[in-house]
Chain A
């Protein structure tokens, strides 16, 4: 690869593709009332009624609190987590799209890196979020660029109770894994706050077999991250509320060699500082919110073996105002104006790229009776003064009591080219068009209860089209981004949840399956062997299941995830084999004086399955974790 420059190697290393949600990850009705103290992801709740949502089970999340977002998104059909191995980079792609088509939003604020257009889920600890939710399907009309395949929402919730509360969670286990989180929260009254500290480290020196069949331990794989999050809300007279959040995070990682490399000297350091202010007002029929946010990210990468060094800083500013008004009972209108400023300073760029984005968005919600709810929304954005395609959306839900439910959504969506697409020296293409496309999805859901049993079954279907999909192809001496690809993704998913109440406890079964056929419908040349083939890193078949029992303060669960063949070449001539991995979790509630909590133990990859989610990046074999939660009341 004579002219595949070192910087390009770094870039391509970071070009990733993802997927799944555990346990009782049942999609829930989307018209949940907004608790007063939710630091709100303002536009979502109740404004996407026909969109399928997946919420990881809170009981299973309790086991993952000191782990990262990538762990929570496993075992869900239709989502592929492209995980480079324990402690290493992980991204998520939803329903046959790519990782760049998954928006990741922290209280409604986008976390995607402007240079890469991706979010690394391995440095987002679940400890910092009270609610993790995956909205399946496009939602550009509400969230803007990138929300084409789905959106991951990470929301905070401050405590409602009055007394100060201190809690701690610590976990340790195989391969030098140590993770701790400490939270001090204060609720009640007008002022509420939470302070969270997080520390995680791991050697990740797990056994693997290289391509020559030699058994080794993964070298150069140390990972360490630490973060601090401070959130405050104060309620003022007249229905006003002010919120302020500050989040500082640092991650340091040695990047291990792949199975084909004898050694690695690569190291990556990520620093993030995020600040956000909200001012909300709620009246009887109207409400508004204004928000200001400033994010700064720094990514440093150094590899002495390949003589690759880069230091990139990106800044992101957001200002928005949004209002909601009830026109009449059952008819609400929402409108807003948003301004974004993005910039990047990097030693890989010759210039200093900047971007201004203005967007107007609006939505009309109509609830004619108890059964129907419809939302019509739209967004128009201008990037550096140039209008990009208008993105409308229709979201519709029908409910017959709690027994039957159906949802339909149709939307136009877009993704703006990343800074690397536009400005990479010698290769970036400022003339790139935004990716755009329509998607439609539909679901039916039924619930039934009889005696001690309850059941929920859901079936869904999807049809996505993306035009002008940007890919990097060799051209005139460098890989260059082009609006070449057209992708058609279609498929469906099924979910079944069964629960049986027991004396003093319960038994749950939750199983899901996703089928995603996502094909490349247009190529630069007619004879391209990737034409009509399944996209790489999109398994056709995927799913997960869990069986959980709880009684008398004990909880036990078995979880299973599986995926079929996952292609790694665009002509589908090579693939990762299917895999099935299990996990076992056991916990015991405890109480002592004013302390309470859980003790737990986990066996991950129970059957010691040898598998990869990215080619030649081995996942750890069977390993063990023990942990404790402590609440000081």
Chain B
């Protein structure tokens, strides 16, 4: 009996000491122009959002920059990141929080708590930024000096997504929201008075926005799964608030999270629709064939490297494992690949 008891006690003590031993080393410093920051969204409620850093020279990748430097987890669902000078704003959707870090050191400089479900961060001026929201039907107005939400702009749709500022106006993509009528409008907000002023009808469920070399906006509309209505690409004149060109997609097989990006010169659009497509901004029609086929991957993050025009893609996999990121040249030839974090959803160049 005594021996059994001792064995049971020993087993208990041994297991009590089985603690997690995977603490990451401190993240290396980020150097301007030397690499790409990868936002890894993480799994819902898994608390494993992270930022990876791929260095062009040596092609090495550092994981978990934030946790490594600050000694605590970054949070849950890293939806996006915004760079303002040397400050990075990391938007954590399910943590309802925006972490502020020095992009060179990744040391925490504070946080902005956002009651809601923050998605994207758009600096308006030195003092103000807008933050879109998944459910709240608002755009949050944030004071950068006060690091707090100071006001909310009521919006017609529950879901506000990507935003672009042109002059004093902010154009807001709003995908159709659960429980509301399908949306085809891009909304226009006066960023001086923080009020909704106008809307522009484009395709169904506007999701992503970029601006081309001519100052025109491109909206990626994702369509609707329930009705089978396809979305498309729409070119909009931000001055006249009119649609210049419409490129409806032939089907609504859009992929899990359609992305839209443009090269540094503002001449070549890239979008994911299961596969990756590339299209000059002056094209007369949508490309017939993809530039980079998904080949069974769940293409998720998309970024275009400044200067080289190289294409970065992230694979979401099953959203429950760390997955690969890929670097392609302009013609779609694979250059590099590396293992990043869970659900790599964006590439950010500093």
Identify which of A7, A478, A509 contacts B4 (C-beta below 8 A).
Answer: A509
A198-222 interface with B by 8 A CB criterion: 211-213
- Identify the closest chain B residue to A474 (Cβ): B256
Residues of B within 8 A of A (CB): 1, 4-5, 8, 11-12, 15-16, 18-20, 22, 41, 43-48, 72-73, 75-77, 79, 93-97, 113, 115-117, 134-135, 158, 161, 175, 177-179, 207, 222, 225-226, 252-258, 274, 296-298, 316-323, 342-343
Main secondary structure of the interface of A (DSSP, over half): loop
A530 to B320, CA, bound (A): 9
Q: Lowest 8 A-B CB distances belong to which pairs?
A: A578-B18, A571-B321, A260-B76, A474-B256, A260-B47, A577-B20, A2-B257, A426-B225
B145 to chain A, nearest CB (A): 22
In the assembled complex, 8 residue pairs joining A and B whose CB atoms fall closer than 8 Å, in A order, are: A1-B343, A9-B44, A12-B44, A260-B95, A474-B298, A530-B317, A569-B48, A578-B19
A422-476 interface with B by 8 A CB criterion: 425-426, 471, 473-476
A3 to B177, CA, bound (A): 10
Q: Which residues of A contact B135 (CB under 8 A)?
A: 6, 305-307
A115 to B274, CA, bound (A): 29
Identify which of B18, B177, B257, B320 contacts A307 (C-beta below 8 A).
Answer: B177
A563 to B14, CA, bound (A): 11
| Complex contact B19–A577 (CB within 8 A) | yes
Q: Which residues of B contact A305 (CB under 8 A)?
A: 116-117, 135
Q: Which residues of A contact B96 (CB under 8 A)?
A: 261-263
Identify which of A528, A578, A609 contacts B317 (C-beta below 8 A).
Answer: A528
How many A residues have CB within 8 A of the partner chain? 71
Is A275 engaged at the interface, CB distance under 8 Å to the other chain?
Answer: no
A582 to B96, CA, bound (A): 35
Identify which of B1, B8, B257 contacts A1 (C-beta below 8 A).
Answer: B257
| Complex contact A477–B252 (CB within 8 A) | yes
Identify which of A471, A476, A564 contacts B18 (C-beta below 8 A).
Answer: A564
Is A4 engaged at the interface, CB distance under 8 Å to the other chain?
Answer: yes
| Complex contact A615–B258 (CB within 8 A) | no
- Identify the closest chain A residue to B71 (Cβ): A213
| Complex contact B46–A568 (CB within 8 A) | yes
Q: Which residues of A contact B117 (CB under 8 A)?
A: 305-306
| Complex contact B95–A477 (CB within 8 A) | no
Identify which of A3, A211, A536 contacts B75 (C-beta below 8 A).
Answer: A211
- Identify the closest chain B residue to A425 (Cβ): B226
Q: Which residues of B contact A477 (CB under 8 A)?
A: 222, 225, 252-256
Additional pairs, 10, CB under 8 Å, beyond known A498-B4, A575-B20, A607-B16: A1-B319, A2-B207, A211-B75, A211-B76, A476-B274, A511-B8, A530-B317, A569-B48, A570-B320, A574-B48
| Complex contact A525–B296 (CB within 8 A) | yes
- Identify the closest chain B residue to A478 (Cβ): B225
| Complex contact A569–B320 (CB within 8 A) | yes
Is A579 engaged at the interface, CB distance under 8 Å to the other chain?
Answer: yes
Identify which of A509, A530, A607 contacts B318 (C-beta below 8 A).
Answer: A530
Q: Which residues of B contact A262 (CB under 8 A)?
A: 95-97, 113
| Complex contact A564–B15 (CB within 8 A) | yes
- Identify the closest chain A residue to B74 (Cβ): A211
Report which residue of B1, B72, B158 has the largest number of chain A beta carbons within 10 angstroms of its beta carbon: B1
Q: Which residues of A contact B15 (CB under 8 A)?
A: 562-564, 578-580
Is A5 engaged at the interface, CB distance under 8 Å to the other chain?
Answer: yes
| Complex contact B11–A562 (CB within 8 A) | yes
A104 to chain B, nearest CB (A): 25
Report which residue of A260, A261, A577 has the largest number of chain B beta carbons within 10 angstroms of its beta carbon: A260
Q: Which residues of A contact B226 (CB under 8 A)?
A: 350, 425-426
Q: Which residues of B contact A3 (CB under 8 A)?
A: 222, 225, 256-257
Identify which of A258, A573, A577 contacts B45 (C-beta below 8 A).
Answer: A258
